[in-house]
Chain A
Amino acid sequence: ILNVEQSPQSLHVQEGDSTNFTCSFPSSNFYALHWYRWETAKSPEALFVMTLNGDEKKKGRISATLNTKEGYSYLYIKGSQPEDSATYLCAPLTSGGSYIPTFGRGTSLIVHP
């Protein structure tokens, strides 16, 4: 079971603010990392899957970077909107196991109008 840390645990921002949060994981035997977005009363939905050191992915105002050597990924949201309010989960996995990701506890983002 991987030790996955997400910080901060929760974040309140104003509409229009840009924000970022972190996912930390063991760097040894890294294989891939998933980011999911989970809105209240809904199911988690995939944002990105990242595999290579230095990877950058973008979807609208949301982007993510990956550093496999030091074991972290950043998720950025530019110009936050109230509809961005959700919990953002990261889920890394290592090679040599079951190839099923381990989910972090998430960062809860609340964007105030």
Chain B
Amino acid sequence: NAGVTQTPKFQVLKTGQSMTLQCAQDMNHNSMYWYRQDPGMGLRLIYYSASEGTTDKGEVPNGYNVSRLNKREFSLRLESAAPSQTSVYFCASSELGSTGTDTQYFGPGTRLTVL
């Protein structure tokens, strides 16, 4: 099992460019999440998908869109990148999600720099 995979690992964008971060899990988990991690801050939730076919905003959704393509895949799109979106992005998944006691399994992260 690969667990949670993310592509790309690194990306540099210019202001205004768009890109999609890909995430896939092979654990048959129902719930998937996108977080960003900035220096001195905790992991902040951008969007989540409690189950296939649903998505909801988290704490910091502005400037992002998501797609739950199927049960395995959850992508994060930046339509017009801004320097404030320079961050490390983590995708995570959990088996059920809605119980609150589920463990989240994290991907390796994508380090994004917006110039």
Contact = CB atoms under 8 A, between A and B. Distances in A.
Interface of A: 1, 4, 31-32, 34, 42-46, 49, 51, 89, 93, 95, 98-106
B42 A44 contact: no
Interface of B: 4, 33, 35, 40-45, 48, 50, 56, 58-59, 90, 97-101, 103-109
B66 to A, nearest CB: 14
A44 B106 contact: yes
A105 B42 contact: yes
Given A43-B108, A105-B41, A100 B101 contact: no
B42 A106 contact: yes
A93 B100 contact: yes
Instruction: Indicate the member of B48, B50, B100, B104 with the most A CB atoms within 10 Å.
Output: B100
A44 B43 contact: yes
Given A32-B100, A43-B107, A43-B109, A98 B40 contact: no
Closest 7 CB pairs of A and B: A99-B100, A43-B106, A103-B42, A103-B43, A46-B103, A105-B42, A32-B100
A101 to B, nearest CB: 7
12 contacts: A4-B42, A34-B103, A42-B108, A43-B108, A44-B43, A44-B90, A46-B105, A95-B100, A100-B33, A100-B48, A103-B35, A103-B43
A51 B35 CA distance: 24
A49 B33 CA distance: 18
B42 A1 contact: no
Contacts of B103: 34, 46, 49
A82 B4 CA distance: 27
A51 B48 CA distance: 23
Contacts of B107: 43
A31 B100 CA distance: 8
B42 A89 contact: yes
A95 to B, nearest CB: 8
